[in-house]
Amino acid sequence: MAEKINKDMTFHQVLQMSPKVAEVLGSFNLGCVGCMGAMKETLEQGATAHGLDVNDLLKELNLLFED
């Protein structure tokens, strides 16, 4: 599987890709839709700040875009 989403992308960039992204983020208790940090914070920064493994988050997000 080729990754479409990587750890250096901002939450804002990823949220623009699909409405389903917000559902995945919500399943990790990340309320990024209303967060001011979402514009500049990378997935890695946000995951770390919330005590999450960024690789788990990336895996779930990239499942949305499997062919």
Decide if domain 11-63 falls under CATH 1.10.3910.10. yes
Dig out the tokens for 54 from the structure: 């960024």
pLDDT, residue 24, reads 95
Q: What is the pLDDT of residues 13-52, one digit of tens each?
A: 999 999 999 999 999 988 766 667 777 899 999 999 999 9
- What are the residue boundaries of the structural domains of the chain, listed by start? 11-63
- How far is it, in rounded angstroms, from Cα 9 to Cα 18? 14
